[in-house]
Structure 1
Amino acid sequence: MPSSVPAHVLFVAWGFPPARGGGVYRALAISRAFAEAGAEVTVLTAQREAFERYTAVDEALESHVHPDVRVHRIPFTWPAREPDPAQWPLARRLAPPVWWRARKQLDRVPFPEPGYGPWRRPLQEEALEVHTERPVDLVVATANPYVDLAAADVLHRRHGVPYVVDYRDAWQLDVFTGRRTHRRGSRVDRLEGRLMRAAREVWFVNEPIRAWHAEQHPAAAGSMCVVANGFDPHFAPTPRLEPPDPAVPLRFGYIGTMSRQVPLAQFRAGWSRARETAPVMAGATAHLWGHSSHYAVEHPGRTGAGPAAREPGATDEDGVVLHGAVSKTAVADVYADLDVLLLILGTGRYVTSGKVYEYLASGLPIVSVHDPGNAATDVLRGYPLWFPVRDLSPEAVAAALVEAATAARSADRATREACLEFARPFSREAQLAPRVRTLLAEVTGGR
């Protein structure tokens, strides 16, 4: 008779709640999807103190970890991101450039990834220990960082455990410029090729990134598929099906990291022009929510991140309001106060962003302030209330803003319901469920 023993899935994610950052939500969703499908899930991640010290935290996210998921936390240190100068070694204080070069080389010795390389050994040791306690049927390792893949590698080589490589980013592709970041035949290139060829499946967040990797590693192309980010229903905004109060000025909003790749200056120029020239924009405000970088402190030597470096809550003469970070668990409340959403993304045909799916779930007008060639364009094409810029000139940005503002005032209930219907296939569940079911059926053999 078939066994009722559930599959044991080892999920590896350096960044897991309470870490904050875009990739954390994907990790949270994948671990939950396997648990909800009946698997026994063990997560390997970094210790909580690492996130508090180096990348900042969103403590509220921990309450959304599936109650049946076991979390193993492994010590992690990051000398290059040490925020306390008193803890810096003498060499770093006396000769910072020399120390940085040496540190990067040392990091790459155990695994070819600066900052994360030294984590390979403790990660692999923990993976082997977990397997000894309860044999692992499947490993799912999400990257970046790419050192996460080392746990899958060691269990596959020593015990034949199948694994999935989940690429929420790209190791050898700069998604903004489209350039390779490692030369062909390099250590990274050889390692990535070997890991992909041995994987049961390799997941990518969009088709352009999948196609690029299929070209680079043709022997692994058959195992590659797209598993888009999607929106999480329990974090998604409550749809608004009625137009806003005509007596109240419109509120535009952006939610996301405001890194240097994000074209905030181009948005600001177009925003100013739109407010100056279009009556429908009278009194309109733009509310920007998010961190100015991916780290708890800025990289040494950085002078700030543009407009996001101003005091949170400050409003300038153009009606732009900077609010700082918002917990993922409170994002729905932010959406509830907005009339138009701003999708401000860095340039690159491989760039999608996770927030695009959440934006779709709102049913609100969306202004795409990004290069039309971005992969996000493929996701949004056909959304009834989508207003893309033709380019990033002030005139083009202003025109899209005005069109969206007009639609926010005039779009009827039927149009907004059509937006929600468009968004339905982009839920996290719709993206993950088919792959999770297939993988569990394969590794259990129907037991």
Structure 2
Amino acid sequence: MQNLLLISYYFPPRGGSGVQRPSKFARYLPGHGYHPIVLTCDDGSITNTRDSSLLQELPDADIQRVPGREGLVKKMSQLHLGPLTTLTLRPDAQILWKKAAVREALKLAKKQRIDAIFSTVQPFASALVGLELKKRLGVPWILDYRDPWTNSTSLIWPSKWHYEQEREMERRCLAQADRALVVTPGMRDSLAKAFPEYAHKIRIIRNGFDPEDFKGIDTDQRVDDGTFRIAYAGRLYPMTGKKNRLHKSSSFTFRHCELDYASHSARVLILAVKQLLTEHPGLRGKLKIDLAGNIPPDHQAFTDQQEVGDVVHIHGMLSHRDAIRLVSRSDAVYLPMKREVDGRRSYNASGKIYEYLAQRKPILAAVPEGDAADLVRDAKAGWVVDPTDVQQLADKLYELVQRKQSGLLRVDSDEAVINQFTRQKQAEELATELDELLGIRQPNPQPTPVPATAS
């Protein structure tokens, strides 16, 4: 059994989508010859979501926790010092965790052999932890991108200088990393274009779903009462589209493009419901929408303002299993996603897609053209609509209500496509990469990266 130091700042009992990938790797890698030693933040650093049920999946996990500094950052924000932390704590506030994390990892390395390192980002400070340990321990290091870094379309830097400094940080990380993992084909192409000299290191291991999460849950608990039910469980952004960063309009900030965060809210959905009921008032009792998770307060106010509170029901945070149960009672699922204002293809693909695929629920995807839209179509899993088009979404809702009433609300999903995305298969893919780096097996031939020039 090889020992893998798995560095993930976000890890259970913290909840949310960011913990799923590292925790599932920790769960299934032992079946492929790797013992994960998880290095993560201390429980006391968790200041937002918590889902203790996720730890029940890892009863024998070797988890080493190092205190974080989220409480300090939160206090600074309350003192209106948020812009100062944004300016000084780079690449993110979790840089305050780096020194203690490296120190703890080196202590662990004195007690037991570390054969390889895996660090997953965000936060991007975890990449710098991996970089330091790569230099100190001299073992293979895999840098895992759940999210893009300096070629991100969603991040805003305080200045062009800050961006260039982080670009160099990322370049140093890629120079030392033995592999760089990404989660979509678009992310691979974007990273290869940004750093063509390291394109040969890039591999795709997609996000996915764990069939074990659905054991003991009937994934089809639809109520046959003639009402069309659609559900969403996850995070939504405020309808204003604003984020808690340095002000967007500042002439000092730097970004690659403007993002429409409001498209990753339920604003268009709520307006579409209003439009549908205006055109077809008799459907008011035939449609129900459940929104659960990290839902901003403005959603309830907007729902009330549009007088659709009897149709759109907003719930709070749910455990992972309760979210699965909510979806299981629906006829279809809703998938919103932020879009680039300039209309470029999106290489983001929410991890939520894969659990929807696992439950074989028809997906109504209000997403821009890109990897997420491609996946829904490739899997023959549902319908893609423009995330900004209220009338198009209202028309599709009307069609789905009619399908429900006529018994034709189903999709013939492509099982071969869906079965590629199990967490067990992804753990096997990661183990294969580790085996190659450690010389346990010969590397598989890789396709030639797409020719590109540095940006």
Alpha-carbon distance change, 143 to 406 in structure 1, aligned in 2, over 3 angstroms:
same
Contact 1:243 1:412 in 2 (8 A): no
| 1:369 positional shift | 1.7
| Structure 2 SS opposite 1:40 | strand
Separation in 1 of the partners of 2:395 and 2:317? Answer: 29
- For the pair 1:346 / 2:338, whether they are aligned, the reply is yes
Q: Secondary structure at the match of 1:208?
A: helix
Unaligned runs of 5+ in 1: 1-5, 293-303
Would the aligned equivalents of 1:7 and 1:443 in 2 still touch at CA under 8 Å?
A: no
1:354 alignment partner AA: G
For residue 324 of structure 1, give the secondary structure of its aligned residue in structure 2: coil
> Could you tell me which of 44, 54, 69 is aligned with 1:61?
54
- 1:38-437 aligned at under 5 Å gives the runs 38-51=33-46, 54-65=47-58, 67-78=59-70, 81-82=73-74, 93=79, 96=80, 99-107=81-89, 112-176=90-154, 186-236=164-214, 238-240=218-220, 245=224, 247-260=225-238, 261=261, 262-278=264-280, 282-292=285-295, 305-307=297-299, 316-348=308-340, 349-371=346-368, 373-390=369-386, 392-410=388-406, 416=411, 418=413, 420-437=415-432
- Aligned partners of 1:341 and 1:367 also within 8 Å: yes
TM-score normalised according to structure 1 size: 0.82
CA contact (8 A) 2:273 2:308 kept: no
1:253 and 1:338 in contact (8 A); partners too: yes
TM-superposed deviation, 1:354: 0.3
**Aligned-pair distance for 1:171?**
1.6
State the 1:381 CA deviation. Answer: 1.0
Closer/same/farther in 2, CA of residues 137 and 267 from structure 1, 3 Å limit? same
Structure 1 match to 2:245: none
Deviation per residue, 1:92-149 (Å, 9 max, x gap): 75xx3xx444444543xxxx32311121110111111111111211101000011112
Task: Provide the rounded CA distance (Å) in 2 between the counterparts of 1:152 and 1:178.
Answer: 24
Residue 286 of structure 2 aligns to a residue whose secondary structure is: coil
Tell me the distance in 2 between the aligned counterparts of 1:215 and 1:417: 36
Q: Secondary structure at the match of 1:19?
A: coil
- Establish whether residue 15 from structure 1 lines up as the match of residue 6 from structure 2: no
Amino-acid identity (%): 21
CA distance in 1, matches of 2:392, 2:324: 29
Q: What's the secondary structure of 2:129's corresponding residue?
A: helix
Give, in whole Å, the separation in 2 of the partners of 1:166 and 1:138.
13
SS state at 2:149 partner: coil
What stretches of structure 2 of length at least 5 have no aligned partner?
239-260, 341-345, 442-455
Matched-pair contact (CA < 8 Å) for 1:243–1:408: no
**TM-score in terms of structure 2 length:** 0.81
Q: Read off the aligned partner of 2:49 and give its amino acid letter.
A: A
The alignment covers a number of residue pairs equal to 407
CA contact (8 A) 1:176 1:351 kept: no
CA contact (8 A) 1:173 1:179 kept: no
* RMSD (CA atoms): 3.0
Q: Tell me the CA shift for residue 318 of structure 1.
A: 4.9
On the 8 A contact 1:35/1:41 being kept in 2, the answer is: yes
- Partners of 1:287 and 1:436 lie apart in 2 by 38
Q: Quick one: distance in 1 between partners of 2:293 and 2:387?
A: 24
The C-alpha deviation readout for 1:336-369, integer Å capped at 9, x for no partner, is 2111111122114122100011111122221112
Q: CA deviation at 1:16?
A: 0.3
Secondary structure at 2:272 match in 1: helix
- Identify the range of structure 1 (160-169 vs 403-412) with the bigger mean alpha-carbon deviation: 403-412
